[in-house]
Amino acid sequence: MKPISILFVQLSGVTYSEMEGQLLDKEESFDTAYNKEGKSLPLGVLYLSACLEEKFKTNVNQSIVDYVEELDELDSYRSVDDFIEGIAVKGVSSDPDIIAISLMFTTSYKFFKQLVKIYRTLWPNATFIVGGVYATVVAEYILQKNEIDYVFRGESEVALMEFMDSFMGDGGQSIQGVYSKKDIGTGFCDICQLPDLNELPYPNWGLINFPVYVKANKTLKRYGDDEVKITEMMGSRGCPYKCTFCAGSVSMNHRKFRKRSVENILGEATELYKRYGVTSFIFMDDMQFINEKRFLEFEEAFKSMDIQNFDFQNQGFHCNTTTLKMIDSVSETVSSILFALDSASQYVQNEIILKKIKLERAKELVSYSRSKGLITRVNVIFGFPNETKEMMREGADYMRTLQADWFIILTAIPFVGSELFNQFAEMGAVNHNDEDLWENSAYCERFFDTDTCTADELKNFTYKLNLDLNFINNYNLKVGNYARAISLFEERLQAYPNHTFGLIALHKAYEGLGDVDQCNNIKSRLYRTISESESARQMHEVHRDLLVGTEFYDLPAM
């Protein structure tokens, strides 16, 4: 029998509109530091590929069109549609029988929609299937609006194996969590059968250009660490908590938490080190370290590995489950820690987002982490439904009491499938099938107003707070830890070289050290940046009130 060919498609996190802007040469149309260079491993696709390889071996031929890797080539195309088609034609040598698209994020929908139209003209006889977090929550809409044959809701390893068995046989499909156009109007409630994580093969890293991914800049990788090889891993799936802003666990696995054994994780890390020289790992779990016992078991196992310069990060430690003993242990292994606070208002914690972190406990954990030498980061989100400006100011005041090295300040974006989205919809702020909203659903900016805060007010509040707490009044500047401050500012400036406040803060740090030469060099660089970059000038003009009393409040006329 002729082997079945399946083509996986990995979509970029950069939106269709951002790509259009880039091709029109708009200044800084998207953040090249992360979006163009930052490549997150497509773990879901690689797990699916590994399962196919293990079960079907040579009976299934696999290939991938990877728009994450190919994003660097965007500028060589006339339009985004040309980019979509050109990369596909370049990467596919023969007609695929099945095209499997990973649709993980709201922001990818417009690109996905155009891609399906183009691919249908290239390969009209192929069977199109789609899965991923976002595909799961809008499965019915996708089938109604696009020429897609099947949508897989939830974790798809088991379902895809059954689908392939059927595809090779009579072609009839009746699989839990797999829907087609004939199912429109039936409710779309089921998800695919959940796999046993310890029985899954390790991801098929050979499907992609893996060395490109491990050398790339990533969200939790320090800029400038060019020699560090870093990759994402998954130690568990699901989360028992019910935070209103999360759509992933609710849709993909109905919050059923399952974990891989420490031995299984250790085996994968060892394989990655031996094969590719990976020494740093980012765990993408919702709740990898759910309790002290599991965490310490994991830590001891990893410390036993013979990996030079070993390091790991995760999506953020939950303040209600993190203990001082855990921080003691992690401080012996890694250089930094991230606390997923999500709101700095106790009322918002308890009554709006339902995460219910005890903020006094969070303050203790942050202070203790710094005392152990860890670079301590905290993420905070503003703009939740019914969160008033007074609550936001209360949160900002609390943040000023934290001894954090850095704050990741985000905007509450309603992801379809989350309780947060439903709340905004009930308020009349958003519509369920607003494709423009999906295209603009990024963590940095919101495009709709609420009764408590307009979009512009929220944007100005969060941006000014970022400049205030992370730069001008960074905790390290306040306590005279200038060397650490310089390291943090330089890291940001490598990512965003035209950052006016980054340069001013860097000047302030060198001034604290009494380094006159460096201060003069930075001042010259700042004035040059202001003269050459419109965005740098605007940043100064809009937020110069933060510089009252400093020599940078008024800059030379350009």
The CATH number that applies at residue 92 is 3.40.50.2300
Shared domain check, 478 and 465: no
Shared domain check, 458 and 365: yes
215 inside domain: no
**Can you give the CATH number for the domain in which 552 is found?**
1.25.40
Shared domain check, 484 and 466: no
178 inside domain: yes
31 inside domain: yes
Coil, helix or strand for 259? strand
What is the domain count for the chain? 3
Shared domain check, 354 and 282: yes
426 inside domain: yes
355 inside domain: yes
pLDDT digits (tens, 9 = 90+) for 384-438: 999 999 999 999 999 999 999 999 999 998 888 888 888 999 999 988 888 888 8
Residue type, 488: L
pLDDT at position 540 is 94
Domain boundary among 446, 473, 500: 473
300 inside domain: yes
Shared domain check, 398 and 350: yes
Domain boundary among 451, 473, 495: 473
Shared domain check, 512 and 392: no
More confident residue, 218 or 244: 244
**Mean pLDDT throughout 143-147?**
96
pLDDT at position 440 is 82
pLDDT digits (tens, 9 = 90+) for 450-461: 999 999 999 999
CA distance 441 to 396: 24
pLDDT over 70, % of the chain: 93
63 inside domain: yes
Shared domain check, 302 and 279: yes
Shared domain check, 443 and 491: no
pLDDT at position 249 is 57
Domain boundary among 122, 149, 183: 183
Stretch (H or E) spanning 119: helix 109-122
Q: How many residues does the chain have?
A: 558
Shared domain check, 319 and 176: no
Shared domain check, 495 and 452: no
**Can you give the CATH number for the domain in which 443 is found?**
3.20.20.70
pLDDT at position 243 is 84
Shared domain check, 264 and 173: no
More confident residue, 240 or 151: 151
**Mean pLDDT throughout 14-24?**
91
- Identify the domain containing residue 489 by its residue range: 474-558
208 inside domain: no
Shared domain check, 525 and 427: no
**Mean pLDDT throughout 349-372?**
95
pLDDT band at 36 (very low <50, low <70, confident <90, very high): very low
Please provide the DSSP assignment of 360-427 as one string. HHHHHHHHHHHHTT-EEEEEEEE--TT--HHHHHHHHHHHTTS--SEEEEEE----TTSHHHHHHHHT
Instruction: Please answer whether residues 501 and 463 qualify as being in contact, where contact means their C-beta atoms are separated by less than 8 angstroms.
Output: no
Dihedral sign of CA atoms 94, 96, 102, 108 in order: positive
